[in-house]
């Protein structure tokens, strides 16, 4: 039923076209499989959650410039005003925004001293509304009270007595212990200044999406007596776009001694931060689609050419008893054999390219299952592409054998 | 074996209708060797194509081996061709990319024989045409006469009852033509029914029975010399 042997021997006598197509299939598979792997990795990165109520949060920047600008009063008035707006869940003054790309980091160590290793941590300065505005839960210990909050002077660099840290940070500080045990422990900032861990929050991300300590965050109970800072606002679901311009308007008109700018939703922040990733995904997807089309067209071209070249032969085969199905099978099988060589070489090239990418760009090792998936995909592309020419071959009438000599 | 009654074949193109066969009547019995002659365009190939189930026809009846073939579908016709009919073509129609062995193998694979049986039949039929020692060769490495012998081996490997040949010697010189003719006669003597179209009067004369086709109709001739038109070649 299957003419594998004769097809192979006939192919060996017309190698060039078949080899070129097999190579094209191999290269296409190599690029497709590696692209899919990279896309999957990027998608995984993009799927990481910041821990915030991103859909309903935004922030705005306030910069005081007037000589007589009173930071402390302004901040308290602003916050009271924003929190009083219907549709607002909560709001804080904050020094940095998660996943935005810019912020502060410090090192915490479990023992004092210059010779001790510290664990890097992102710093968010918040008041007792911090956890509610970030939409995070205190899962061990206590949240901040109003009485915990102190003003931080723009010139002085002193730290309060207590902090909240993320569960991930607790686990990095005390890798051998349950994170709950971190509550009440003393850690040291600036090498020697003690701070007590008041509570643990479930999850919040640092400002830097490319940082390997992305999940390590501490909340510090401080309001900033600075002239420039941001307000982070969390709204009721669906209210964000209504409240954003209102807050901007309110801040601008309530105090003429400052400018407000950088009104931005968390959604936009995420899009901006992950723009390179989504651009990469788009480029790779386009390349994959184009390559697949080009390869499919190459297969159609070679098959059409060989059908035309073999018209007489096909008619003769029909005269000798080939059914239309047998002719169809011949071309499908021939393509399958060429594709098989292609995907075998492709599998090796795929691993090779991945190994090179691992060295050159610190990519991880490809998931092995993508290789058989890629092989099947290219086999299918080949079979679908060759179907048209194969059907045309099957439709060649047997009388061709005796006509037009 | 073959019985055609009032078979009519019309080729339609945009401009013309060609009545290639008109009330074509012919009876060929089992074991006969029939030579078909006639002027160019008279319908010889058309007749052969219909006889060999390569083409369908408009009206009339055609019984092959007692079976009415006009109702068969394409698949059934293919199977019947494969089992009962062997073809020999003027230009040999060997598959250039395949060795002699693989060429003879083609109809046997469609027949569904197993590998051992195919091998035995291929060797046997190449032996019969005197080319058993060149099984691995490509068609291009053979002379025209040898190529036609391979084609004959291919046509006979499945042991068809009925052999159709359209000018099998048309592309051969006289010497080679005669040796092919001898081979066909040998085959006929073993019982295979042969219908052969030819332009060559001397070759036609070697067949037991001659028919003359003109304007898509048959006129039977028993005396070759009485042919109305000197056959060119
Ligand atoms: N596929 C076709 N389409 C249209 N007309 C055709 C077709 N095949 C054959 N004909 C016409 O049918 C008639 C009979 O052709 P056929 O090939 O049977 O003649 P022939 O006797 O074999 O001629 P020759 O000796 O030249 O081979 C011719 O007029 C031919 O032009
Ligand atoms: Mg003819």
Of A192, A129, A196, the closest CA to residue A164 belongs to A196
Confidence of residue A226 (pLDDT cuts 50, 70, 90): confident
> Do residues A356 and A344 share a domain?
yes
Contacts of B97 in chain A (CB under 8 A): 9-10, 13-14
Domain-embedded: residue B146? no
**Can you give the CATH number for the domain in which B26 is found?**
3.40.50.300
Domain-terminating residue out of A273, A305, A332: A273
> Do residues A115 and A254 share a domain?
yes
Domain-embedded: residue B100? no
Domain span at B79: 2-95+159-232
Query: Chain B: residue nearest A313 by CA?
Result: B95
Domain-embedded: residue B135? no
Question: CB-based burial of residue A351 (10 Å sphere; 0-12 exposed, 13-18 middle, 19+ buried)?
Answer: middle
Question: CB-based burial of residue A15 (10 Å sphere; 0-12 exposed, 13-18 middle, 19+ buried)?
Answer: exposed
Taking only the tens place, the pLDDT of each residue in A378-392 is 999 999 999 999 999
Domain-terminating residue out of A273, A301, A335: A273
Mean pLDDT score across all residues of chain A = 92
pLDDT at residue number B233: 39
CA–CA min distance B102, chain A (Å): 6
Count of domains for chain A: 2
Of A159, A173, A167, A153, the closest CA to residue A221 belongs to A159
Taking only the tens place, the pLDDT of each residue in A346-355 is 999 999 999 9
Q: How far apart are CA A2 and CA A330, in angstroms?
A: 8
Cα first-last separation, chain A = 29
Domain span at A392: 4-47+275-402
Domain-terminating residue out of A238, A273, A308: A273
pLDDT at residue number A123: 95
pLDDT at A320 over 70: yes
pLDDT at residue number A392: 96
> Do residues A183 and A102 share a domain?
yes
pLDDT in tens, chain B (233 residues): 899 999 999 999 888 999 999 999 999 999 999 999 999 999 999 999 999 999 999 999 999 988 999 889 999 999 999 999 999 999 999 999 999 999 999 999 999 999 999 999 999 999 989 999 999 999 999 999 899 999 999 999 999 999 999 999 988 888 888 888 999 999 999 999 999 999 888 889 999 899 999 999 998 665 544 455 544 43
**Which among A6, A312, A325 is the nearest to B98, CB-wise?**
A6
In this prediction, residues A166-179 reach a mean pLDDT of 94
Task: Write the ipTM.
Answer: 0.92
Sign of the C-alpha dihedral computed for residues B69, B73, B78 and B83 taken in this order: negative
Contacts of A6 in chain B (CB under 8 A): 98, 102, 105-106, 109
CA–CA min distance A340, chain B (Å): 21
Count of domains for chain B: 1
Q: Which residues, in sequence order, are CB contacts of B14 under 8 Å at separation 6+?
A: none
Neighbours of ion ligand 2 (CB under 5 A): B 45
Structure tokens at A404: 């037009």
pLDDT at residue number A3: 83
Domain-embedded: residue B47? yes
Query: Chain B: residue nearest A3 by CA?
Result: B109
pLDDT at residue number A85: 94
Contact (Cβ atoms closer than 8 angstroms) between residue A83 and residue A231: no
């Amino acid at each position: 039923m299957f003419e594998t042997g004769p097809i192979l021997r006939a192919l060996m006598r017309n190698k060039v076209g078949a080899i070129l197509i097999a190579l094209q299939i191999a290269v296409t598979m190599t690029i497709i499989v590696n692209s899919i792997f990279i896309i999957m990795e990027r998608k995984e990165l993009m799927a990481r959650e910041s821990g915030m109520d991103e859909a309903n949060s935004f922030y705005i920047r306030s910069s005081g410039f007037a000589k007589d600008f009173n930071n402390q009063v302004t901040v308290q008035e602003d916050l009271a005003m924003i929190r009083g707006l219907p549709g607002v869940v909560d709001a804080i003054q904050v020094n940095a925004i998660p996943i935005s790309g810019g912020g502060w980091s410090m090192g915490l160590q479990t023992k004092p001293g210059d010779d001790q290793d510290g664990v890097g941590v992102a710093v968010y300065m918040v008041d007792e509304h911090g956890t509610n505005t970030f939409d995070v839960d205190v899962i061990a210990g206590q949240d901040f009270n109003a009485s915990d909050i102190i003003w931080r002077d723009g010139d002085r660099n002193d730290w309060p007595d207590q902090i909240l840290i993320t569960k991930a940070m607790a686990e990095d500080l005390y890798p051998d212990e349950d994170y709950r045990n971190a509550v009440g422990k003393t850690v040291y900032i600036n090498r020697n200044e003690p701070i007590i861990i008041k509570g643990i929050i479930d999850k919040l991300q640092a400002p830097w999406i490319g940082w390997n300590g992305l999940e390590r965050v501490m909340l510090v109970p401080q309001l900033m007596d600075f002239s420039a800072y941001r307000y982070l606002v969390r709204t009721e679901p669906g209210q964000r776009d209504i409240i954003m311009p209102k807050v901007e308007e309110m801040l601008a008109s309530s105090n003429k001694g400052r400018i407000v700018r950088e009104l931005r939703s968390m959604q936009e922040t995420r899009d901006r931060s992950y723009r390179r990733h989504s651009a990469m995904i788009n480029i790779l997807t386009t390349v994959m689609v184009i390559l697949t089309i080009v390869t499919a067209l190459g297969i159609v071209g070679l098959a059409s050419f060989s059908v035309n070249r073999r018209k007489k032969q096909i008619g003769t085969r029909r005269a000798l008893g080939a059914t239309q199905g047998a002719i169809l099978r011949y071309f499908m099988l021939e393509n399958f054999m060429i594709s098989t060589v292609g995907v075998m070489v492709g599998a090796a090239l795929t691993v090779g390219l991945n190994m090179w990418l691992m060295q050159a760009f610190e990519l991880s090792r490809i998931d092995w299952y993508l290789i058989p998936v890629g092989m099947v995909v290219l086999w299918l592309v080949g079979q679908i592409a060759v179907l048209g020419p194969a059907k045309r071959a099957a439709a060649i009438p047997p009388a061709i054998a005796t006509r037009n000599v | 074996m073959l019985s055609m009654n009032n078979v009519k074949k019309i080729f339609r193109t945009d401009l013309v209708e060609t009545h290639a066969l008109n009330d074509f009547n012919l009876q060929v019995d089992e074991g006969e060797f029939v030579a078909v002659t006639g002027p160019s365009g008279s319908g010889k190939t058309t007749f052969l194509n219909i006889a060999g189930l390569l083409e369908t026809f408009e009206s009339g009846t055609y019984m092959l081996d007692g079976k009415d073939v006009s109702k068969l579908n394409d698949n059934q016709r293919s199977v019947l061709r494969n089992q009962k009919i062997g073809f020999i073509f003027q230009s040999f129609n060997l598959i250039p990319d395949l060795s002699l062995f693989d060429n003879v193998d083609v109809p046997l694979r469609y027949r569904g024989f197993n590998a051992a049986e195919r091998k035995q039949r291929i060797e046997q039929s190449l032996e019969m045409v005197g080319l058993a020692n060149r099984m691995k060769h490509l068609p291009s490495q053979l002379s025209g006469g040898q190529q036609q012998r391979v084609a004959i081996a291919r046509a006979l490997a499945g042991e068809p009852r009925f052999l159709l040949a359209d000018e099998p010697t048309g592309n051969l010189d006289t010497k080679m033509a005669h040796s092919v003719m001898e081979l066909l006669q040998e085959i006929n003597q073993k019982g295979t029914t042969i219908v052969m179209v030819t332009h060559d009067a001397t070759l036609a004369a070697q067949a037991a029975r001659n028919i003359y086709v003109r304007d898509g109709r048959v006129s039977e001739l028993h005396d070759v010399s009485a042919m109305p038109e000197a056959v060119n070649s």
